[in-house]
Amino acid sequence: MSPSSPENADTLRRVLVGVSAGIAAYKTPELVRRLRERGCEVRVVMTRGGKEFITPLTLQAVSGHRVHETLLDAEAEAGMGHIELARWAEDIVIAPATADLLARLSAGMADDLLTTLVLASRARLWLAPAMNHVMWDHPAVRRNVETLKQRGATLLGPDSGSQACGEEGYGRMLAPDEIASAVVMASVAGSDRLKGKRFVVTAGPTHEALDPVRFIGNRSSGKMGFAVAEALVDAGAEVTLIAGPVHLSARGDIQRIDVKTAAQMRDAVMDQMPADGFVSVAAVADYRPASRSAQKIKRSGDSMALELVPNPDIVREVAGLDVRPFVVGFAAETGNVGENARGKLAAKNLDLIAANRVGDDCGFDACENSLVVYSSDQEWDLGSASKRELGQKLVDVIVEQMQSRQRR
């Protein structure tokens, strides 16, 4: 029996997939397949431009349903009209969501079937942007995205990497499997497991200035921290995300605070205390320059000495508070991962530590990762997966441990 057969249709999550006019539309059939594999019933709506990139017949074949294309369609109105279709959907997932489509949604336009459905539906709206990285960085696009997030839309991506134009950067559509996982995970039972709990999460690098143009930093992209923040929200928590310098967008249901330096991150974290939980995912610089030059440092001689002083150890300080949250640290290691992680767990008085190996080929600025989580007496190997999936698995461990301690 297929996932969308009539026999079990009443038990399925009803997902409407919208396809706008972007080259990433070639990934949409895979998204439909992944949603159906996870037990969703899927209907597809295409814009006129979307049909230039992929045929309705392809999406009809993978969804098992006729594709909806036209707002003024007499045949559709006689069966499932746009109002019925809007009421039918529990989730609307637009993938790809082009810059044009985001602008029309932000303006509240209803000039085709897809935009009309969004306005006429109370379904959760998920947007998977896909466009050239320069377009994604344009202030008009960012303003439209922020407007949609404020109205309750959830952003999925974009991701970074090579693009159809031959350039690289943020703007490519998130992988179909990650989109499907996010939509389905938000619908599963237990989404209120952390209801009433408030978490603070740090993400990304810190930049420690040498002079007005140079800094000490690292290659952290912030993706893991953002994934953890989203997974905590999906579990019902209220989340404040404190982010270093990253090129990522946070969901509208996450409070975001942007910082640059370790000292700024420390102050922002302490301002948010007390909290029920603190997850320190950020790759905070251990040291900063002892002094910052007011002018660009000029080259002189064959070498130069740089004096560094320690930065605050944020996670250790939080773990030592009198009113102490549940504290989770991260250990990014290039070798002896388990041994080093357990050492940090004990030395910093953490409840959990998530450890991963980093280097030229893994960890930082990658979409996938691998994690092993340690407590004082247990170990959880979360395996290798997308950072979004690992974030969900880590939150499962956090919930389990917090509930276990409450029962003691």
User: Which of these, 40, 30, 28, lies nearest to 3 by C-alpha position?
Assistant: 40
Active-site hit among 40, 165, 362, 367: 165
Joined together, the tokens standing for residue 355 give 């450890």
CA distances from 387 to 15, 21, 72, 304 (A): 24, 28, 42, 39
CA–CA separation, 212 vs 207, rounded Å? 12
26: phi then psi, degrees, rounded to nearest 5: -65, -20
Closest to 158 measured CA to CA, from 140, 144, 145:
145
Our answer to whether residue 40 is catalytic in this structure is no
CA distance 325 to 194: 14
The Cβ of residue 158 has, within 10 Å, a number of other Cβ atoms equal to 26
Catalytic residues: 165
